[in-house]
Structure formats: C-alpha cells, structure tokens
Structure 1
C-alpha cells in the first residue's frame, strides 16, 4: 500500500494537496469559457484573452460576442494540442502528404494558369492553403474526411473563411482530379447551391463609424500640424478620386501624372481581371480642376524628398533600403499612411469616445467620397464604375450606406371624406 493510501487510512493527509475544480465564472448570467477574463480596469465590454504563449489580448465586444470569440480561439488551440516529435515539424512534407500535394498544385497552377499564378495575390492564396495543411497537421490526402475539414473550417472566423475559400476550392479540385481524396465525394469549398458545401459564417455587423466631412477636415488639419504633408495629399487624392489606399500610394508622378491629368489603372481590378479586362480611369484637369493644385503640391513635396517619383512621400528618420529597386526610400507605404491617419485622428479627438475598432480608418475617406458623389446627384451605377465595383449593389451596401439618413417627402394622403369624421 502506498504512503498516500496509508495516510488516507489513518486520516493524516498533511502535506498532500489536491487540485480544486475550477470555479465557473459568470458575467450577465453567462458562463465565461477558459482563458477569457473581464477587464481589470472595469471598462464596460472590454475583455482579456490569454494566448497560449501567455500574452494578453485586450479587445472590445459584447458579452455574447466575447464568449463566441473565446470559444472559437479555444477550438483553434485544440488543433495545435498535439506536439510534433523532436525530428518532425509541421512542414515535413512526407511523400504523398497534403503538403507534398500542395507543392504539386503550385507547380500545376503556375504552368496551366500563369496569369493567376503571377498575380499580386498569388502569394497570399498559397499561404491560405499552407495554413490549412499546417492546422490539419499535414495528413495524408486519403485520410481527409468531411468531418475533419468541417471541424477546421468552423473554427475559422468570417474573414479568414471569406478570403481563403477560392484558393481552397482550387486546391481541393486539383486533389479530386488526381483521385487523392477518395473520402471526399464533393468539394466542400464550392459555392454552388446544386451541390453540398460548407456553410460560411454570417458576416459580422459593421461597427466602424462613417467619416463625416467635418471630421475629415479636422484630421486633415491635425495631420498638417504633425508634419504629415504626404498624408494630407493622400487624403485629398482619395476624396477627389475615390482611389483606394494602395492606388494612392502607388501613384507615380513620372508614369501616371501628366499636364492633362491623371491616368491610373485600378490595382485591385488588375489583380482580379488581368491587365486586358481591368478598369483604367482618367481624371482630366479640365473636368477636375481641383486636382491640379494637389498634384502641384505633390511635385513640390517630391523635390524636397530627394526626387521621390511617388505622389505621396515623406522623409523617414533613417534611410532604409527598399527590396524593390523600382521603389524609393521616401515612398509613403500604405501601412504608414494608415498609422499616420490613426495618429492624426487620435490627436484631433475624432470619435475618441468609441472603441478603437469602431473609429474610422483611412478607407472611410473613400466611402465619404462616394457619399458626396451621390449627394452631388450622381447615380450609384456611375459611382460603382469609378470605384471599379462589379455592380452598384456593392457600392450601395458597403460605401453609400451608414451616412446620414435620407428622408423621402410623402406627397400623397387619404381623402378626408373617406375618414367619415370631421
């Protein structure tokens, strides 16, 4: 008999401690899952989530949404629970494994679809497939079942599902044509209603506040006080042309700007449709005279920034070499535009009473431009064309909605004689 059982028999358990069961924690009558805690500062609807490495993620959400996100994160942790052996890694592409087949798919795509495989989004699409192989623990394709794929799919949030579905559909189609997934009778990532498919998550409600023209100029003026003249030019260009952040930052004075105006291809359209079918826009100074002083200011800024060929530029504190020889060390990159916009917005006190994920970002300048075009009397179809949207419904739902309410004047009424009452 062990020493513990002898002590238990004699009633002497001094020195032995037993782990107490975890006491359930409730907020608003709902039990909190593991790793989710309330905010120590007692801020309403702020939460803390303990990551696997011990770091803390602080985020803003309702109680129900915070519990949902925490449960989803816990499910993802379960996928990583099994640790690989010392001589094995997640990227070990065993012969015939899912990662091995992934390499074959990449080669096949680059040979048979060279235009798609050389687009700017190709690297991101490859990463989506790599991530699925990684999180599924690189199984053999013959072991891939609908239950395993569904478990992994439902552990993802809305945006990862939406962004990766096309790449995953292409990869599984290739596997099915090769006969490598006999346990999958259909492609679970298809979008047709005529065949079974995995159900994506519902799109979360938009909580980001729209940018008003008053707040636009408040941020614009504060950017000038902070010395962010490149950001001011970027804001003006996006407002006057509805250009995306990437298009504004890639606008070159030597290639896209002339004495007559601006000629620019929409990068997102080029990546999606190819150069032949993409949308190319022209803003002439005759029809858009307000653009001329903006471009003159961009040229002056370019001269001060060592002849930077890009319309938006700045001088970093330390010169860093660019990986691309066609770029310039004074180029204002999209990520820095967003950071400067956020800094100017916070300094101006715009929407400071809202949580950080609800405050307007630089992309809201584009939505504000679309809204002002509609108020100027232009149709949603015309606005959709310059925004390079596939149809006007996208413009209506994601760019024109959420601004001030529009009331329709009611011009009909009931004949008072029919009311049978004075």
Structure 2
C-alpha cells in the first residue's frame, strides 16, 4: 500500500492535532501517543496544539518524536479497508455467503469512516457508527471492525483497537421458536418438494444451504454424507449420517419422476435462460428460493400471518425444533448438528488427504405428522 498524507480534515491543522467526528479536537502527545481532548473551538485547539508542540520540541528526544508523528505515512481508513478486503480477508477462506455479507458491509463502513486516517478514529467514532444499527446488525459490524483494526494495529497504522473497546449491544430476541403445531400447519400447506426439504432439515438438523446441496451421490453405504458449508473447515463439518428408518422414508420419497442430482428439487413452472444458467441443474432449488417459498406458505396461514414479521419463524427454526425433539427423545444431537464443544483434530493432518468424517445417527425421531402428497 502506498503511504498517504494526512486527510483533508486535518491537512490545515498543526502537527499532532486531529479532529474527531467532524467537530471534536484531540491532541496526540508525540512522545507516547496519548490523546487529550481540546474541545470544539478550532482556534483555541490550534493555539494550544502549537504551544504544546513548541514545549515538547525542547524536551530531550522529543524532536524526533514530533518528526515521526508528522511523517507522511498516515493512511486513510478507506484505503486500509480496500487492503483488508483484497489482501487479508481472502486468507480466511470464508464461505461464499459470509464473503458476500462482508463485502456488503464494506460500503457502509467506508462511507462513515473512510475519510478519516486510521489513527484518527477513536472509540466515539466507532460507537457512533455502531449506534445507528439495531443490536444484531450492530454487533456484526462491531465484529468486523474489531478484525479490521486488529490488522491495522499489527501493521502499525494505529496504537489501539477502538472497536474492541466498544461494548456489544444487547437486544431482545423477538423471533419465536417454531412449535410442532406450526411445523405441521406449514408442512400440510406446502408442495411435496418443500415438505421433503422440511423433513430433511428436521431429521438431519442441517441448515437450508446444506439441505438443498444434498445429492444422490452422497447417499451410499447406508449413510448420507454431508459437508457443511458453514463449518467445513472443522472436523464437525464433515458428517456421515447413518440413515435410520425415518430418514430412509423421506429420502425414498424424494426420488420421484423428475430426474435430478439433488434430493430436494422441483420442476419450475417458468424458467428464463438467465435463471437456468445460474443453476447447476434446471431442477436445483437455491437456498434463498427455499426460504422465500417457506415464508410464502407460512404467511398464507392466518395463525402465523397475525404474528409480527420479526416474530414469525423462518426455515432455520426447523433446526432448533429438531434439536429440541431429539433432546426430548433422550438423544444428544451435538454431532448431528455439527456442533463442537471442544477443540478437535483438523480434517487434514500434515501429509494426509483423508477427511475424518464425524459419524452421527439420524434415527429415533418420528416425524410429527403424516405426509400429505
């Protein structure tokens, strides 16, 4: 990254004086980097900074500190964000969905903080930005900013991580857990392909992205092999699910007259060429389409449509319902859900390419309804 001079917000200020949030002035003592508030009056802040600079230069060794503080190596936040997204984030090898979410947030962080130099941004700047979002979104932005500033500190562009000094917001959970009765109602009103998806999610405890990715080639030797998209970097993300009688019945129901490599599939009513080209197979069901189809059926039911939008259960709540039902049946759903409670050995050990599949059993849980075809 090419070094940058002070931002346009601080270019006309004396050395070591900075403006925060567009109106507050801070003086950074060049000998140790400690900051002092100078109020909102520019003339007074400038006069005080000039006097302090003059006094500090007379101290032994302070002149070199001032020179270091005013050298042209200050980097604008928008440039460091660009560096983070292009050079640092790809090394984390995030799932495609997580990458899209990160890049979506990039725009708003750059708009709010991009014109500040990295070392100008303090806790108040970050707190003000985070305060403009509801708790869940705010905490997502906070986690991202913590990581961005962690790299900035490591590369010497700032002394501390201002995002880490903020406190995560605590929000009240408004979404309601799905009940068996709600599951039954939505299931009965759904098309067969959506029923299959719901039952697979309930019995295997997999997320919607992993449910729609299940292929016939992954059903073999009495087991369903699943590589979880979200946790495939860990041992728990590689599952060999032993097929019990309940899951076997659902899998057999998935094999219909429509030829498809996917267990969950559908014959589209209409499909444009652009839509078809975006799919691996013309019968494929994407995760976002599954969620929309589920929500459409859910919202058509009076007992669920009367709930607020924030309270209505999503497809993801099937996973939570399944975990509860397995526990009620006296079984531990940890491995089936792909959760790890302690550190486990890596999937790929040094010098070996063999994946360690975590074996789990999908059996002993009776579907809470009879399938309506």
Deviations 1:33-85 (CA, angstroms, capped at 9, x unpaired) = xxxxxxxxxxxxxxxxxxxxxxxxxxxxxxxxxxxxxxxxxxxxxxxxxxxxx
Report the equivalent of 1:243: 206
Aligned: 1:279 with 2:237: yes
Moved more, 383-392 or 211-220: 383-392
Report the equivalent of 1:52: none
Deviations 1:88-124 (CA, angstroms, capped at 9, x unpaired) = xxxxxxx9422222222234326xx73x145432343
**Contact 1:261–1:282 under 8 Å retained in 2:** yes
Report deviation, 1:164.
2.9
Aligned: 1:128 with 2:78: no
Deviations 1:235-254 (CA, angstroms, capped at 9, x unpaired) = 11011111111111111222
Moved more, 166-175 or 234-243: 166-175
Aligned: 1:257 with 2:232: no
Equivalent residue of 2:175, what SS?
coil
Report the equivalent of 1:104: 83
Report the equivalent of 2:55: none
**Contact 2:179–2:321 under 8 Å retained in 1:** yes
Equivalent residue of 2:226, what SS?
strand
Aligned in 2, Cα 1:150/1:277: closer, same or farther, shift over 3 Å?
same
Aligned in 2, Cα 1:221/1:323: closer, same or farther, shift over 3 Å?
closer
**Contact 1:342–1:361 under 8 Å retained in 2:** yes
Residue 215 of structure 1, aligned match among 178, 182, 203: 182
Task: Give distance in 2, aligned partners of 1:348 and 1:147.
Answer: 46
Equivalent residue of 2:216, what SS?
coil
Residue 118 of structure 2, aligned match among 131, 134, 141: 141
Aligned: 1:199 with 2:167: yes
Aligned: 1:316 with 2:272: no
**Contact 1:129–1:167 under 8 Å retained in 2:** no
Report deviation, 1:353.
3.2
Equivalent residue of 1:344, what SS?
helix
Structure 2 gaps of 5+ residues are 1-73, 343-373
Task: Give distance in 2, aligned partners of 1:384 and 1:324.
Answer: 38
Task: Give distance in 2, aligned partners of 1:215 and 1:96.
Answer: 54
Q: Which residues in structure 2 correspond to 1:44-193 (within 5 Å)?
A: 96-109=75-88, 114=91, 116-117=92-93, 119-120=95-96, 121-181=98-158, 185-190=159-164
Task: Give distance in 2, aligned partners of 1:350 and 1:263.
Answer: 37
Task: Give distance in 2, aligned partners of 1:259 and 1:289.
Answer: 14
TM-score, scaled to structure 2: 0.64
Report deviation, 1:326.
6.8
Equivalent residue of 1:308, what SS?
coil
Deviations 1:237-281 (CA, angstroms, capped at 9, x unpaired) = 011111111111111222x222523111222112xxx1x534322
Aligned in 2, Cα 1:168/1:289: closer, same or farther, shift over 3 Å?
same
**Contact 1:129–1:171 under 8 Å retained in 2:** no
Aligned in 2, Cα 1:119/1:212: closer, same or farther, shift over 3 Å?
closer
Report the equivalent of 1:387: 337
Structure 1 gaps of 5+ residues are 1-94, 191-196, 393-422
Task: Give distance in 2, aligned partners of 1:188 and 1:145.
Answer: 5
**Contact 2:121–2:162 under 8 Å retained in 1:** no
Report the equivalent of 2:320: 367
**Contact 1:322–1:328 under 8 Å retained in 2:** no
Equivalent residue of 1:219, what SS?
helix
Q: Which residues in structure 2 correspond to 1:341-352 (within 5 Å)?
A: 341-352=294-305
Report deviation, 1:169.
1.8
Task: Give distance in 2, aligned partners of 1:201 and 1:323.
Answer: 42
Aligned in 2, Cα 1:219/1:325: closer, same or farther, shift over 3 Å?
closer
Residue 289 of structure 1, aligned match among 234, 245, 248: 245
**Contact 1:298–1:312 under 8 Å retained in 2:** yes
- Count of paired positions: 267
Q: Which residues in structure 2 correspond to 1:395-414 (within 5 Å)?
A: none
